[in-house]
Amino acid sequence: MASSSTKRQSVLPRGQSGPKAPVNFSSSITIADSVLLTGNHTINISSESVVHPRAKIDSANGRITIGRRCIVHERTSIGVASSNPTPGESRDGVVIYDYATVEAGAVIESGGTVIGEGCLVGVGSRVGRGAQLGKHCVLTPKTVIQPGEAVPDFTVIYSNGTRRLDKRGVIDLKNKAQARQIEVLRKLIPSNPAKFQ
Amino acid sequence: MASFTPYTYIQCPCHDSTSQSQSADDAPPTASQDLSESGDDHTFHPRAQRSTFSLYPLEYLLYCDVCHQIRCPRCVTEEIVTIYCPNCLFEVGSSSLKTEGNRCTRSCFQCPICIGPLAVQALESPSEPALLSAENATTPIPAGPWVLTCSYCHWSSSEVGIKFDKPQGIFGQLQKLRYGEEQNKHVVSGDTSPTKHDSAPDTNKARFAALKSFYGSQTVNANPSAGLSGLGDYGLNSPGALTRIMSIYSGNNSNGLKQKNKSTVMREADSINEGFRASDLDESSAISQLRRDGWDGTVTCDQAKTQAEEGAQFADQLWPIPYLLRTKRSKRCPVCRHIISKPESKVTNTRWRIRLVANNSIPSISIKPLNPPPGSGLLKPLQPAQFLLTFKNSLFDDVKVTLATPATTPGRFASRVTVLCPEFQIDANPDNDMYLDDVLKDGDKERQRRRGDEGIHQAEAGKIWERGRNWVSIVVEVVPASLRIEPPPVLLRKEGGPAPDLSPLREDEDILEIPMFVRLEWESEASHDQVGASVSREKDVREKRELAYWCAIGIGRISQE
């Protein structure tokens, strides 16, 4: 395996593309070695959250805050600069509240974006700058939330933007499942928070 | 402007039998079109409304190798091989289909909101997360109410108040919840008197049964000998059928005559027990619900349509949809009844036992511009453009191809079409083990051609453009018509002819589509389907075959300027 890895070089430039970001980690988080943290604002990650390998968190456009027991999957981009060049009024980049999950390949733009408690941002979704997701929202894969949009609590967005309210009332169940998943992920993902501090 | 992909649609010969008599009156009344020719002389009009139903891409077509004719999905006769549930892939017998309907009766349901598959889940988690470690394999089986949930849109059956006692037999439980315990009584009692029911039938099924038995008994009471009661049972257990048979055998005609003279008055169903239900005109509850829930509380048209029973208006009236069963079908040639397509009968096997696709029997036609014009790729009106048509032979015999097109395309905008080489021969499709050899040879030729006469290679009338292992490309020259809509000059107008069509450009009328008649001629081994002595005597007897069909070739869009 070692020989093959030396042969196959990535065409992309190695290493960090920006300055080493200031971080503020809780001691109980799980963060993989190959996560990319860049930017000059603080990246806060609270207790028991999990960041998968190759997630990209960029604080160049504002502070990134990730709450407790969140899961950030592979190849997600959190804190991407918005395509709109005018500076936003918010100093926060992205705030992700407790128990939220950001699935693989999702993009969350920076600039006062809020992902509410217990939200699920589906595979390949895109959340625009300054969008506010309420509590326990579900974005099914490939959903696009426009910049500045406010999504009420318990909204499910599915099939090209159709919306409905989730009336199951299974928050406790969902939180328990999230905690259990984090427990398993901790065993699977070798954590190396010291690399970033 | 949307990009345009050239296409070839082939007309199935089944079109002839149905449309020839009617093609004159349903073709669009266009000025340039004159369908006065009759019989075989008429050229095919790809834009006629009826043509839409007989043109297919080559991939859709089958080929009967006994009649040597193209067969389309419309003209084959189909037979059901297997009936199965698309979700659990369980095979359903045709007998149970008759008794239990065309939906899966196991635990397969679709979400009424987004039609995703539903899963059975326990409503309450049985144990504390602290007790559950990953090694703890013996997870206690969760007890308590079960619900159907959609993992996509997160709908759950608890939203409409459906909970199940056990995770198995969901279909039965749902039926019980929906129709109550006595549904069986309603459905089975076909010929018993409806007055026996003490409770009013409230479901559609039960009401239908009640109405049926009521009107059945009405016809019998009114006219016992006339058993032609359309509403009654057809089985022998119905009293109507019995009296009819009795009257036939006894020859008692006087009864019937007497009945004819007397006009009997039939009563209509008027009570709830007889299946009558007054329309509920009081919609105040619906209106108040509409006020309370708003737009989100109502069902969409699609949701209402996919429901197994009709009549849902609000989102809380939506029930899980049992999966519709599907079929695997075999296809027969309509003429010789030979099977031309037959899937494996096992549900999980996706292979075919027999599949005679047209792709293996008739040449494929691909289109590309000879000199790709820069820019938009639209055809410039009134400027000649040349296109390469490449015919690829898939048969193992040499094929002689003859092409014919009308000089101008039919329709309002008549473009001129010239096939530079309407007759040519394509070599046979060689065996596969020769393949590598041929590729190498082809490659050599290609290189030579590129090196050599790049500049002087020009399209010539009567000569093929290029020839390969089993393909030939020819040049077609078109002069696209101008899309300007203006009345024709007075001199050219026919006296008493139809008024010129000056309506604006219709959808896709700017596509230059060439009707082309393709005639194939080849020699192949005589078919061995007749068990004759002659076949065994002379083994290498060759048989001449021919096949002819119309196709529509879409070349490109004409620019509008």
DSSP letters of B218-283? HHHHH-SS----TTS--STTSHHHHHHHHHHHHT-HHHHHHHHHSPPPPPPP-SGGGT--------
Burial B8-37 (b: 16+ CB within 10 A, else e): bbbbbbbbeeebeeebeeebeebbebeeee
Is the model's pLDDT at B433 over the cut of 60?
no
Size of interface A-B (CB pairs under 8 A): 39
Distance from CA of A45 to the nearest CA of B (A): 23
Q: Could you give the percent of chain A with pLDDT greater than 90?
A: 63
**Per-domain boundaries in chain B:** 103-124+142-179+279-322, 185-274, 363-451+464-557
B154 touches chain A (CB under 8 A): yes
Contacts of B36 (CB under 8 A, 6+ apart): none
Residues of A whose CB is below 8 A from B114: 158-159, 162
Mean pLDDT of B52-80: 90
Residues of B whose CB is below 8 A from A156: 153-154
Residues of A whose CB is below 8 A from B159: 167-168
Contacts of A104 (CB under 8 A, 6+ apart): A52, A73, A74, A75, A76, A123, A124
Mean pLDDT of B524-530: 63
Residues of A whose CB is below 8 A from B132: 180
Supply angle C-alpha B158, B160, B165, rounded to 5: 45
Give the burial class of B201: count Cβ atoms within 10 A of its Cβ; 0-12 exposed, 13-18 middle, 19 or more buried.
buried
Least confident of B116-120, B181-185, B273-277, B516-520: B181-185
Burial B99-113 (b: 16+ CB within 10 A, else e): eeeebbbbbbbbbbb
Residues of A whose CB is below 8 A from B129: 176, 179-180, 183
pLDDT digits (tens, 9 = 90+) for B404-417: 999 888 888 889 99
Mean pLDDT of B183-203: 46
Check residue B474 and give its pLDDT. 92
Q: Which residues pair with B341 in a beta bridge?
A: B331, B355
How many angstroms separate the CA atoms of B150 and B158, rounded? 11
Residues of B whose CB is below 8 A from A162: 114
Nearest to B82 by CA among B337, B355, B349, B356: B349
Contact assignment for B125 to A184 by CB distance below 8 Å:
no
Check residue B98 and give its pLDDT. 86
How sure is the predictor about B215, in pLDDT bands with cuts at 50, 70 and 90?
A: confident
How many angstroms separate the CA atoms of B29 and B390, rounded? 34
How sure is the predictor about A83, in pLDDT bands with cuts at 50, 70 and 90?
A: confident
pLDDT digits (tens, 9 = 90+) for B367-376: 988 877 766 7
Check residue A171 and give its pLDDT. 86
φ/ψ of A184, rounded to 5, equals -70, -45
Check residue B198 and give its pLDDT. 45
Contact predicate A46/A67, CB 8 Å: yes
Q: pLDDT higher for B240 or A30?
A: A30
pLDDT digits (tens, 9 = 90+) for B484-512: 877 766 666 666 666 667 778 888 888 88
Nearest to B479 by CA among B377, B555, B372: B555
Residues of B whose CB is below 8 A from A48: none
Is the model's pLDDT at B536 over the cut of 60?
no
How many angstroms separate the CA atoms of B506 and B517, rounded? 26
Contacts of A45 (CB under 8 A, 6+ apart): A23, A24, A25, A26, A29, A31, A51, A66, A70
Contact assignment for B125 to A176 by CB distance below 8 Å:
yes
Among partner residues A164, A165, A184, which is closest to B134 by beta-carbon distance? A184
Q: pLDDT higher for A91 or A131?
A: A131
The CATH number of domain A18-187 is 2.160.10.10: yes
DSSP character for B210?
H
Q: Report the relative pairing of strands B77-84 and B326-332 from DSSP bridges.
A: antiparallel
How many angstroms separate the CA atoms of A96 and A117, rounded? 7
Residues of A whose CB is below 8 A from B134: 183-184, 187
Residues of B whose CB is below 8 A from A186: none
Give the burial class of B427: count Cβ atoms within 10 A of its Cβ; 0-12 exposed, 13-18 middle, 19 or more buried.
middle
Contact predicate A189/A30, CB 8 Å: yes
Contact assignment for B153 to A159 by CB distance below 8 Å:
yes
Distance from CA of A177 to the nearest CA of B (A): 8
pLDDT digits (tens, 9 = 90+) for B444-472: 555 555 544 444 567 777 888 888 888 89
Contact assignment for B149 to A183 by CB distance below 8 Å:
no
For the CA atoms of A175, A177, A179, A182, the dihedral, rounded to the nearest 10 degrees, stands at -130
Contact assignment for B114 to A184 by CB distance below 8 Å:
no
Q: Could you give the percent of chain B with pLDDT greater than 90?
A: 22
Check residue B14 and give its pLDDT. 80
How many angstroms separate the CA atoms of B419 and B422, rounded? 6
Among partner residues A158, A170, A180, which is closest to B152 by beta-carbon distance? A158
Q: How many CA atoms lie within 13 A of B138 on its CB side?
A: 0
Mean pLDDT of B151-156: 89
pLDDT digits (tens, 9 = 90+) for A181-193: 999 999 999 999 9
**Per-domain boundaries in chain A:** 18-187
Beta-carbon neighbour count of residue A88 at 10 Å?
20
B157 touches chain A (CB under 8 A): no
How many angstroms separate the CA atoms of A50 and A57, rounded? 13
Q: Name the residue type at position B177.
A: L
pLDDT digits (tens, 9 = 90+) for A9-46: 666 555 555 668 899 999 999 999 999 999 889 999 99
Check residue B282 and give its pLDDT. 83
Nearest CA in chain B to A178: B129
How many angstroms separate the CA atoms of B170 and B108, rounded? 8
Highest mean pLDDT among A95-109, B60-74, B105-119, B203-217: A95-109
Mean pLDDT of B249-262: 54
Contact assignment for A158 to B159 by CB distance below 8 Å:
no
Is the model's pLDDT at B195 over the cut of 80?
no
Distance from CA of A11 to the nearest CA of B (A): 33
Q: Angle B204-222/B239-250 helices, nearest 10 degrees?
A: 30
Contact predicate A143/A151, CB 8 Å: no
How many angstroms separate the CA atoms of A189 and B26, rounded? 69
Distance from CA of B303 to the nearest CA of A (A): 13
Q: Report the relative pairing of strands B69-71 and B62-64 from DSSP bridges.
A: antiparallel
Mean pLDDT of B147-161: 89
pLDDT digits (tens, 9 = 90+) for B10-64: 998 887 655 444 444 444 444 333 443 344 456 678 888 778 888 999 999 999 9
Contact assignment for A168 to B129 by CB distance below 8 Å:
no
Which residue in B111, B151, B153 has the most chain A C-beta atoms within 10 A of its own C-beta, making it the best mutation to test that interface? B153
How sure is the predictor about A1, in pLDDT bands with cuts at 50, 70 and 90?
A: very low
How sure is the predictor about B132, in pLDDT bands with cuts at 50, 70 and 90?
A: very low
Alpha carbon separation from A124 to A59, A77, A142, B103, B337 (Å, rounded):
20, 10, 5, 35, 51
Kind and range of the H or E run holding A172: helix A171-188
Give the SS3 label for residue B503.
coil
Among partner residues B125, B134, B153, which is closest to A173 by beta-carbon distance? B125
pLDDT digits (tens, 9 = 90+) for A119-128: 999 999 999 9
Distance from CA of B102 to the nearest CA of A (A): 28
Nearest CA in chain B to A184: B134
Contact predicate A80/A109, CB 8 Å: yes
Alpha carbon separation from B436 to B440, B450, B469 (Å, rounded):
6, 21, 11
How sure is the predictor about B227, in pLDDT bands with cuts at 50, 70 and 90?
A: very low
A183 touches chain B (CB under 8 A): yes
* Stated pTM of the model: 0.71
A180 touches chain B (CB under 8 A): yes
Give the burial class of B142: count Cβ atoms within 10 A of its Cβ; 0-12 exposed, 13-18 middle, 19 or more buried.
middle
In angstroms, the first-to-last Cα distance of chain B is 14
Is the model's pLDDT at B200 over the cut of 70?
no
Is the model's pLDDT at B235 over the cut of 60?
no
Distance from CA of B81 to the nearest CA of A (A): 34
B153 touches chain A (CB under 8 A): yes
ipTM above 0.85, yes or no: no
Check residue B133 and give its pLDDT. 46
Supply angle C-alpha B291, A134, A104, rounded to 5: 125
pLDDT digits (tens, 9 = 90+) for B308-361: 877 788 888 888 999 999 999 999 998 899 999 999 989 998 899 999 999 888
Distance from CA of A184 to the nearest CA of B (A): 7
Mean pLDDT over each residue of chain B, to the nearest integer: 76
How sure is the predictor about B159, in pLDDT bands with cuts at 50, 70 and 90?
A: confident
Contact predicate B545/B524, CB 8 Å: yes
Among partner residues B125, B149, B153, which is closest to A164 by beta-carbon distance? B153
Q: pLDDT higher for B551 or B19?
A: B551
B124 touches chain A (CB under 8 A): yes
Is the model's pLDDT at B288 over the cut of 60?
yes
Residues of B whose CB is below 8 A from A138: 154
Nearest CA in chain A to B152: A140
How many angstroms separate the CA atoms of B490 and B258, rounded? 76
Is the model's pLDDT at B196 over the cut of 70?
no
Nearest to B28 by CA among B7, B3, B49: B49
Is the model's pLDDT at B86 over the cut of 60?
yes
Q: Name the residue type at position B119.
A: A
Name residues 136-155 of chain A within 8 A of B (Cβ): 138, 140
